[in-house]
Structure 1
Amino acid sequence: MNRLDYFNARLEANMSPMEYRKAKEEQPENYVLVDVRVGPVTIRKEILEGAKVIPLNELQDRMSELPKEKTIILYCWDTWCTLASKAAVLLLENGFDAKELYGGLAAWKTLDFPTLGLSEVTSSPNEDSGVDCEC
């Protein structure tokens, strides 16, 4: 793969926080935001506003909760974390349209976009499983 193909593929597979917010504002019915971070709630204290929480280690069993007719935007911790990429591969292999939110939670917070405390949303039934992050 040459550089041009690489960068085109990267742009196709990712969405920046600004791009996501604009797309969600213009066509809210087309997107679902999903937090795929794993680990105890003590480190997953907040989520992006509007996100559904499905940790990567539960995604295989919970795919039925996601609509195939929408684009699933996945996020994890930061640019160094691979959880959203792993989730995207799994969803794409199963017929979903999936993209990674570039920069994850860290980029979102850097831009001062809204977050919610995890206790403010209905979270995963296994939220205190003690699973270490698989980044």
Structure 2
Amino acid sequence: MHALDYFNARLEATISPMDYVKAKQMSPEKYFLIDVRNGPTHVRSVTIKDANVIPEQELQSRLNEIPQDKEIIVYCWDVWCNTAAKVAKFLLEHGYKVKELTGGIAAWKEMNFPVTNSDQGNNIPDNCGC
């Protein structure tokens, strides 16, 4: 793979927090944001504002909650976590249009973009799965 092919593929498969905020402002109904993080509930209590919380461990049983007609944006913890990449691959295999939010919630919070406290997912095992 040539460098140009790599960067084209990377840009097609990811979206930065800044680009997502801009795109969402221009076309708010186009996107469906999913927090796919696993792990202890107490560390998952903060989510990106308006994100749908569907942990990777519940994805298969909750697939019906994800709209086929929107662009799906998935995120996990940080650049070191590959849970969002696993979810993106799974959703792509099931016919969804998907991008991974680069940097996960860590990058989002670093840019001081809006977050909310969430008490969803209280029954998720404490196993991260990254």
Q: In structure 2, what is the Cα distance between the partners aligned to 1:89 and 1:131?
A: 23
**TM-score by structure 1 length?**
0.93
**TM-score by structure 2 length?**
0.96
- Provide the residue aligned with 1:133 in structure 2: 128
Structure 2 segments unaligned to the other structure (5+ residues):
none
Matched, 1:12 2:7: no
Q: In structure 2, what is the Cα distance between the partners aligned to 1:129 and 1:54?
A: 10
Aligned length: 130
Q: Which amino acid aligns with 2:117?
A: G
Q: Which amino acid aligns with 2:89?
A: V
**C-alpha deviations, 1:25-66, integer Å up to 9, x for none?**
000110011000001211212000010000001111111101
- Please tell me the root mean square deviation across aligned C-alpha atoms, in Å: 0.9
Q: In structure 2, what is the Cα distance between the partners aligned to 1:113 and 1:99?
A: 19
The 5 A counterparts of 1:47-86 are 47-86=47-86
Percent sequence identity is 52
Structure 1 segments unaligned to the other structure (5+ residues):
none
Structure 1: 4+ residue segments shifted above 2 A: 127-131
- Provide the residue aligned with 1:33 in structure 2: 33
Q: In structure 2, what is the Cα distance between the partners aligned to 1:116 and 1:43?
A: 13
